[in-house]
Amino acid sequence: MEQIFTGRSPEEAIEAGLRELGVAREDVEVEVLEEAKKKLFGASPAKVKLTVKELTDGQRAVRFLEGLLPLLGSDAQPALTDEEEKIVIELKADAAKGVIGRRGEVIDAIQALAGAVANTGRKEYKRVVVDCGNYREEREETLKRVAEKLAQKAVRTGKRVRLEPMNPYERRIIHSTLADSTEVYTKSEGKEPARFVVIIPKNAKPFERGERGGRKNDRGRGGRKYGDKPRYGSERKKQYEHRELPSEATPETSGTSFNRGGTAGYKKGGFSGFFGTFLGNSNDEGETAPTEPTEE
């Protein structure tokens, strides 16, 4: 994009053009067309032609961060250090810890935004790395040590080991560190942003049916060992001798008389032999309450 601007001097024309275009001096190519000239009556202004340079993907990301960082209360200054295979932006700040954040949460967020800006309009995604105070290299070495240590644990115990959620860049470090291992392999599980890496030993113990809490359980459903007699049920119940109900001629003193004539019922102080709740009404018509038996 080319535009011509005028001013009392070439420098004044350039400044006017930069303000109107909203760009920095390094983002334009300047061509002076005419110098300011004094005439008998007045003067002719200087003319300059400003051509806006097409920003690269990395430069666009740097421009974005220059506007973002002050909004975050940071005095960090972004600088583009590489733009070949990947875009690398270095943040220079007096207090690197404030830019990095806890476990790199702040710098990871800044990197994600810079990556989105740099890849706007691109057909193929280009990786963007935002670093500060050599944090990325130190973090990478830490992740490699953790990966190797947890791989040894997985082989020793024969069980899967799950790592904490990580961003794609850090998960890639874990995968690449253990890619050539003959004892374990890795895979990612879960969904973003809580996606994590699992280290799985190749000598993992097969799952045993009925296993609970890591202990072998040779009992089937219901906690019963196969081949045993059932713990509960008719086979384990105590067998009682079958007793017939007493006949109408049962002595009144037995305590089990069903005398329906409304005379004797139970012997005073004797055991009734019944359990349960009486559901009838002793005052219903046609029924009489049991009376105390007379002594013989």
57-133: CATH superfamily: K homology (KH) domain (3.30.300.20)
Query: One-letter amino acid identity for 277?
Result: T
Q: What is the pLDDT of residue 152?
A: 95
C-alpha to C-alpha distance for 272 and 89, rounded to whole angstroms: 97
Average pLDDT over residues 63-74: 92
Give the Cα separation of 48 and 254 in Å (integer): 130
- Cis ω before 193 (30° cut-off from 0): yes
For residues 95-108, give the mean pLDDT.
88
> Which sequence spans correspond to the domains of the chain?
2-52, 57-133, 136-201
Structure confidence at residue 220 (pLDDT):
47
Give 181-197 pLDDT, tens digit per residue: 999 999 999 998 899 99
251 — alpha (psi -120 to 50), left (phi > 0) or beta?
A: beta
The average pLDDT across 102-107 equals 88
Q: Which of 62-71, 202-211, 245-254 has the lowest mean pLDDT?
A: 245-254
What is the per-residue pLDDT across 114-143, written as a single tens digit (0 to 9) for each?
999 999 988 899 999 999 989 999 999 999
**Mean pLDDT, to the nearest integer, of 68-76?**
91
pLDDT tier at 230 (50, 70, 90 boundaries)? low
For the chain, the 3-state helix, strand and coil shares in percent, each to the nearest 5, are 30, 20, 50
According to the 3-state scheme, what is the secondary structure of 85-126? CCEEEEEECCCHHHHHCHHHHHHHHHHHHHHHHHCCCCCCCC
- DSSP type of residue 208: -
In this structure, are residues 99 and 74 in contact, taking their beta carbons and an 8 Å threshold?
yes
Given the candidates 3.30.1370.50, 3.30.460.90, 3.50.50.60, 1.10.260.40, the CATH classification of the domain at 136-201 is 3.30.1370.50
C-alpha separations of 246 from 21, 31, 258, 265, 272 in Å: 115, 127, 9, 14, 13
Q: What is the pLDDT of residue 31?
A: 85
Q: Is the pLDDT of residue 205 over 80?
A: no
Say how far apart CA 193 and CA 196 lie, in whole Å. 9
**Percentage, residues of the chain above pLDDT 90:** 36
Q: How many helices (H) and strands (E) does the chain have?
A: 6, 11
- What the block records as the tokens of 164 is 């904490």
Q: Cα(180)–Cα(195) distance, rounded to whole angstroms?
A: 22
- Band of residue 239 on the pLDDT scale cut at 50, 70, 90: low
